[in-house]
Chain A
């Protein structure tokens, strides 16, 4: 009997099924004890606190929608309380003035490719740093973290020179390549895998004849799933909202969404209602992503708990 299927039961896809088969230690326990492990629902105080936090979080989005649904004079007359009826008219203006759909397509492409590659390469590197023993691993990890300290503003000119030499200015490559693996991602996966992936699992699968890459694929990657999902989400959002570098390096015929959004602004007189309507429209794909990914994340996190 190969030992590989057994390992997949404690991590990865089979975990939930395997967990269900194990006897439930909670059955028969009294229900009204406190503690984070309790399945009792939290009380109104908790929901109240959460509600306040959520209100503060959602307020700017709501406010943008509010202003975006009035016209240009609304803001100078004081902050409106209820939405007006002007949103669709403003949205039409947004679509007219900037290449919205093309920019959206570009943003989706760039963010998806970047987060996929960041997850893959960071998990790979994290796996190496966390679990494999090789010379210089400690020093190199510190070096990785140190690279986060390089201020981005100054890197703009030399990076632009590099992109120009490669002939990539104006293409989406110039925006994707600098982001395909991040120090944050490597650091994140390293510290997660260190705790979440027991050495014994790797040794076991190695003893059964798996090569390094198979060990990574069958053991490392599944164990990293919750953190990988989180990293993918963060990277996607961060890449989506990135403005400065795409502005410098892309052309207006080929923008990403934040760059296109800035075009709605003029220096002197700005119709903020149109700008904020555009801002709301640009956030909608992310909100959709949250709804879709949120469920994934919640279930992924619950499954990933490896008994250590």
Chain B
């Protein structure tokens, strides 16, 4: 009968598949080294990053310098994916890499659980980074959760051709002077631009402006003890009103929500003359505005200085190779290495020494009218004030605020008052 033969064939193929699978699915080798020592036994470290940190060549270099170390690099495509992955594995209690890169936006929530991360404080790296960078990653008890990698100091990018058409100066220094150092002077320049009646708006959206302003509020939404003050903090309401007035009443906004299709197309159709830009945004603008002439960077930022983005390398306490991981993280975030990453992928350093390096300061950007971007952003980085206090609910409340602004500015489905009311409801439910 055919039956037994077929069954035999099936079992044989099942067995073969099993063998193949166990071959394919190699577990990460478990390393003997106890967590305290860094000896010469072979060690495999896993590193999880997202986007482009510029680490590819650096990892090879480290492996050559430390022949006992092999590095496995895991990359998530977007920060959201990385965040979801980190959250799931923290919740499950296992599965994190030896080094996990995190972004400053999620940092405040993770600071609530310092025992999940190894304290990376070390006299050897004291003073390596700009103060505001380290502060953001330190808990109230002085537990340092992560080593800073890159940062996002902000300047103002503008389209000189549009400014000229409106009868305004378009070279870098004059524009910087015209924009001034306060938000009011920035908005005033905008009113003048719009009054010239050439068509485009002044900036892309209320949300984008608010993003710049929110990082300048020392204590926006929460107190150190955890109470939520977003609803009562007069500063928040003030900024909210100011931004919306400028956007809708003074017509300075192009009503294009950031990252939306319309916003991308807006660069080509030249719908707005300026936008707040951190270093990493230059690549985005260049891509979206390909073929458009006139973009440049002004060495100024309303309110003094601002930072948007930037990441850290953390060592989760789940890991089994904590000492080696700490060593690798310290090496990767050293000024020399960060400069190499900057050259590779444009990630702007947050290390003090790196800001004075020749390579960095000599950098220019052809698309932005050969602006000395290295110099500009180095100065902007130094101008960033104290890091604002961000509690665990910062992310969620800030999101709610962005949505409130979008409702009024982009969707036009609400007026300022009713949108604010919805914001309050959202905050209360958190």
Contacts and interface: CB of A to CB of B under 8 A. Distances in A.
A269 B288 CA distance: 9
7 contacts: A77-B291, A109-B17, A164-B95, A251-B74, A252-B73, A267-B50, A268-B283
Contacts of A72: 287, 290
Interface of B: 3, 6, 17, 20-22, 24-28, 46, 50-52, 72-81, 84-85, 88-89, 91-95, 264-265, 267-268, 280-281, 283-284, 286-291
Interface stretch (A127-135, A258-266, A279-287): A258-266
Contact of B287 (A170, A262, A269): A269
Interface of A: 72-73, 76-77, 105-106, 109, 113, 156-157, 160-161, 164, 167-173, 176, 214, 217, 247-249, 251-254, 262-269, 271
B63 to A, nearest CB: 15
Given A76-B290, A109-B20, A268 B284 contact: yes
A164 B93 contact: yes
Contacts of B280: 268
Contact of B25 (A76, A217, A254, A264): A254
Nearest to A72: B287
Contacts of B92: 157, 160-161, 164
Contacts of A267: 50-51, 77-80
Nearest to A161: B92
A271 B52 CA distance: 13
Contacts of B21: 109, 113, 171-173, 176
Nearest to A213: B3
A217 B3 contact: yes
B221 to A, nearest CB: 24
Contact of B264 (A76, A105, A172): A76
A113 to B, nearest CB: 6
Contacts of A77: 268, 290-291
Contact of B77 (A105, A109, A170, A263): A263
A164 B91 CA distance: 12
Instruction: Summarize B's interface: helix, strand, loop or mixed.
Output: helix
Question: Which of A157, A168, A271 has the most B CB atoms < 10 Å from its CB?
Answer: A157
A277 to B, nearest CB: 16
A263 B77 CA distance: 5
Contacts of A167: 27
A171 B21 CA distance: 8
A167 B93 CA distance: 13
A157 B89 CA distance: 8
B24 A251 contact: no
A201 B8 CA distance: 26
Contacts of B20: 109
B88 A248 contact: yes
Question: Which of B6, B52, B287 has the most A CB atoms < 10 Å from its CB?
Answer: B287
Nearest to B282: A269
A216 to B, nearest CB: 11
A113 B20 CA distance: 11
Given A109-B21, A167-B27, A76 B95 contact: no
A258 to B, nearest CB: 11
Nearest to B78: A267
Contacts of B286: 269
B307 to A, nearest CB: 16
A164 B27 CA distance: 12
A157 B91 contact: yes
B94 A169 contact: yes
A170 B264 contact: no
B278 to A, nearest CB: 10
A167 B3 CA distance: 36
A269 B283 contact: yes
B93 A161 contact: yes
Contacts of A254: 24-26
A168 B17 CA distance: 16
A37 to B, nearest CB: 36
Contacts of A172: 21, 24-25
When A and B form their complex, which 9 residue pairs have the shortest distance between CB atoms, in order from nearest? A171-B25, A73-B290, A252-B74, A265-B77, A267-B78, A262-B77, A160-B92, A269-B284, A164-B94
A252 B72 contact: yes
A113 B89 contact: no
Contacts of B265: 76
Contacts of B93: 161, 164
A113 B24 CA distance: 14
B86 to A, nearest CB: 11
Nearest to A71: B290
B78 A214 contact: no
A73 B265 CA distance: 11
Contacts of B22: 171
A265 B50 CA distance: 10
Contacts of A247: 81, 85
Contacts of A170: 25, 27-28
A109 B291 contact: no
Contact of B88 (A156, A173, A268): A156
A248 B77 contact: no
Contacts of A217: 3, 6
A113 B267 contact: no
Given A72-B287, A109-B24, A265 B78 contact: yes
Contacts of B25: 168, 170-173, 254
Nearest to B268: A76
Given A76-B268, A161-B92, A269-B283, A106 B24 contact: yes
Contacts of B281: 268
B299 to A, nearest CB: 22
B88 A157 contact: yes
B287 A76 contact: yes
B288 A76 contact: yes
Contacts of B51: 266-268
B85 A248 contact: yes
Nearest to A75: B264
Contacts of A248: 84-85, 88
A294 B95 CA distance: 41
B57 to A, nearest CB: 14
A262 B80 CA distance: 12
A253 B79 CA distance: 19
Contacts of B78: 265-267
B287 A73 contact: yes
A113 B94 CA distance: 27
B268 A169 contact: no
Given A161-B93, A214-B3, A264 B24 contact: no
Contacts of A253: 72, 74
